[in-house]
Amino acid sequence: MMSLLDKFFGNTRGSKDEAKARLKLLLVHDQVDLTPSQLDAMRAEIAAVVARYAEVDMEKVDIRLEKAHDQVRLTSSVPVRRVTGRTQVAAT
Amino acid sequence: MSECIVVTSGKGGVGKTTTTANLGVALARLGKKVAVVDADIGLRNLDVILGLENRIVYDLVHVIEGECRLRQALIRDKRTENLFLLPAAQTRDKNAVSPEQMKKLVQQLKAEFDFVIIDCPAGIEQGFKNSIAGADRAIVVVTPEVSSVRDADRIIGLVEAAELPEPQLIINRFRAKMVKEGNMMNKDDVLEILAIPLVGMVPDSEDVIVSANRGSPAAFDDKSIVGEAYRRIARRLCGEQDVPFVATEAPESWWGVMKRWMGLGEGAQEVAG
C-alpha cells in the first residue's frame, strides 16, 4: 500500500515496471507454446539432473525462459552447496 | 523510386488509420505523390478520417474485379496536391481479395506514385495477409500498453516470416505525464521489448479526435503537435537523417519546481528522446 505521504511526495513506484515484467514473461509464453505446468516440469527435470551430480539448494533454483532480441533463451541459476563427485542415480 | 509501406499493428484501435492518413498528408505536403489504400474491406474508415467519404464511386474490389479502371477509383484530395485515396469496399468481405491480386494492384500503383501506403486491418488473418502481400516494408504502430505491445511483437514476427525487411516502429498515444509518474512504459521500455528501430513518437492528444470529427488529419494543421510528429516521420521516411522527436516531456509540476529549488529533486528527468 502506498501511503498518502508517498503519493504527495511523488515517491511511489509506478505500474510500468509491472507492465514490463508481465510483458517479458508473456512474450516468451506466446513464442514457446508450452503450458505453465510443462514449464514447471522442465524446471524440475533440469534441477533433478544437476542434483544427480551435486548437492543443489532446491529452494533457490531459478530456471527461466527469457526473450532476448529475436530469440528465446533459457537462463538458469542453480546454487550448488557441494559437488559430491559421486553420481547419485535416481531410482526410477 | 517508389515504395509501398504497410501500416499494421495486430491490435485494433491503436491508430493505424490515423497514422496512414497523416503520413499520406505529410508525405504529399513534402511534394511526394502518394496513394493511401484502405485494405480494411468491409470496415472502411480511411475515407472518413480523410473527409473523403462523400466522393466514393468505385472501390478497391471494383478495381480488382475489373469493373472500373484504377484511375476511376482513385479519389484526389483537393486540399493538397498529390494525395489520392483508394477506398475499401464496404459491402464485401476480406475474402473478396487474394494476396496475388493485391500484389498486382500495388505494382500498378507503384508505377504512378512515389509512396503507396496501405492501411492494414486489425488481426492476423486474410486482411493482414492481403495487406502485406505487395508491401516493400512495414511500419508497426504500438501504444505503450501491455496488450498492444504483445500484439506488436506477434506482428513483427509475422512480418519477418513473410520475408519483409525489419519493420519500423511508431509509438502512438504517448502520455508524458504518465511516463513521468512511472505509470506508462517509456520509449526505451518499449524498444527494449520489441527491439526494432523507432521511426516516430506521437503524443496522445485531443487533436486526433477533433481532426477525425472534421475529416481533416492533424498533419494539415501547422500548430498541432500531433501533426508535427507525423510530418517528422514523413521526413524520416524520405530519408532525412537526424530529425529530432517532438517534445514529449511533461511540463514540470509546481511540486517538482519546489523540490528543485529546495535541492531535493533528482534533477530534470528525461522521459523521451
**pLDDT, mean of residues B14-34:** 98
B-chain residues near A31 (CB < 8 A): 157
Q: Count the neighbouring beta carbons within 10 Å of the beta carbon of residue B139.
A: 25
Q: Give the residue numbers spanning the domain of B191.
A: 3-261
pLDDT above 80 (res B52): yes
Summarised one tens digit per residue, pLDDT across range B192-227 is 999 999 999 999 999 999 999 999 999 999 999 999
Instruction: Choose among B145, B179, B195: nearest Cβ to A70.
Output: B195
For B190, the closest chain A residue by CA position comes to A20
Are A30 and B153 inside 8 Å of each other by CB? yes
Q: pLDDT value at position A10?
A: 54
C-alpha cell at B72: 476511376
Summarised one tens digit per residue, pLDDT across range B102-145 is 999 999 999 999 999 999 999 999 999 999 999 999 999 999 99
Pure H helices in chain B: 16-29, 46-49, 60-64, 70-73, 99-112, 126-133, 146-161, 176-180, 187-194, 207-214, 225-237, 254-261
| Number of structural domains chain B divides into | 1
For residue B269, is it within any domain? Answer: no
- The one-digit pLDDT tens for each residue of chain A (92 residues) are 455 655 555 555 789 999 998 998 888 888 887 787 888 898 889 988 988 888 988 888 888 887 766 678 888 888 888 877 665 554 44
Q: Distance between CA atoms of A75 and A86, rounded to whole angstroms?
A: 26
pLDDT above 90 (res B166): yes
Q: Which of A2, A8, A12, A23 to mutate to test the interface with B (most CBs of B within 10 A)?
A: A23
Q: Count the neighbouring beta carbons within 10 Å of the beta carbon of residue B228.
A: 19
- Which helix (H) or strand (E) segment is B86 a member of? strand B83-86
Cα distances from B169 to residues A8, A29, B123, in angstroms, run 36, 23, 17
Cβ atoms B200, B3 nearer than 8 A: no
C-alpha cell at B43: 470496415
Cross-strand pairs, B170? B141, B200
Query: What is the CATH classification number for the domain harbouring B181?
Result: 3.40.50.300
A-chain residues near B182 (CB < 8 A): 12-17
Are B146 and A26 inside 8 Å of each other by CB? yes
Q: Distance between CA atoms of A69 and B20, rounded to whole angstroms?
A: 28
SS (H, E, C) chain A: CCCHHHHHHCCCCCCHHHHHHHHHHHHHHHHHCCCHHHHHHHHHHHHHHHHCCEEECHHHCEEEEEEECCEEEEEEECCEEEECCCCCCCCC
* C-alpha A13 chain-centroid distance: 23
B146 in reach of chain A (CB within 8 A): yes
Q: Where are the domains of chain A?
A: 16-82
Question: What is the reported pTM?
Answer: 0.83
Which of B110-114, B164-168, B248-252 has the weakest average pLDDT? Answer: B248-252
For residue B268, is it within any domain? Answer: no
A-chain residues near B150 (CB < 8 A): 23, 26-27, 30
